[in-house]
Chains A and B, each alone.
Chain A
Amino acid sequence: MKVIICIGSCCHLKGARQVVKKLQFLINENGLTDLVELGGTPCRGKCQYDVCVTVDDKFYSVSPETAEQFFCENILSKLNRP
């Protein structure tokens, strides 16, 4: 599973670093580092959303506050982990 987080100008100001840190922590804590490749991207222009995140090319808008819920719904559950 490939998870890409935008670290461009607007997403940075919307809390991209906090989203990165949260997802890194949750992936590590759940033992998923071998299954989830976490990477960054410069701005691709979807600046009207929160922090832009893709999971296997599917787009999501994620804030630092919703990062954990996003992780559970779109990473953990898709890897069939309880």
Chain B
Amino acid sequence: MNILFGPPSNPADSREMLSLFFSESGKHIVCGGSTSIMTAEFLEKPLKTSLSYKNPDIPPISEIEGVDLTTEGIITLSKVLLYLNDFLSEKKLYSEWKSQDDSASLICQMISEENVVNFFVGKAENHAHDNLTGFDKKSVLVSKLCECLRLMGKQVNIQYF
């Protein structure tokens, strides 16, 4: 599976980043607001954002034709990290995410079925995150997710743009 998270540091690189992302086989997950908008523009498809909160703690999903799952970024992937860390230790939350349909649960369900996870991470600074207290910065979050996935026995590849 392939996870796109964050626009590239140079906007001119977005076409290359997205071309590489979509050239990979397997599922495609897009995480983040700016990332979703960028992806919809690349695919020339509308971006439809739901107002359906499957979990009150996690923003709703969006839809872009050609993308398997489109989500918010930091909050969703932080929840994924929480779920995966729990899976590697006490497994108290497994019953929670294995059957729920919020974005974080859906990502974890997809991950559980895959052996290879490819991250495409844009290094553009998101100053909206400067005031997000209690959450890791994008680079730290990705690093922790990759470590978790490797401990789960997944092959993890990361490309930065």
Contact = CB atoms under 8 A, between A and B. Distances in A.
B131 A47 contact: yes
A42 B49 contact: yes
Interface in B32-62: 32-34, 36-37, 47-51, 53, 56, 59-60, 62
A40 B33 contact: no
B50 A40 contact: yes
Contact of B62 (A9, A42, A45): A42
B75 interface: yes
Chief secondary structure at chain B's binding surface = mixed
Interface residues on A, range: 20 to 34
A36 interface: no
Interface of A: 5, 7-10, 12-13, 16-17, 20, 24, 38-45, 47
Given A7-B72, A9-B59, A44 B33 contact: yes
Contact of A40 (B56, B60, B132): B60
B129 interface: yes
B75 A12 contact: yes
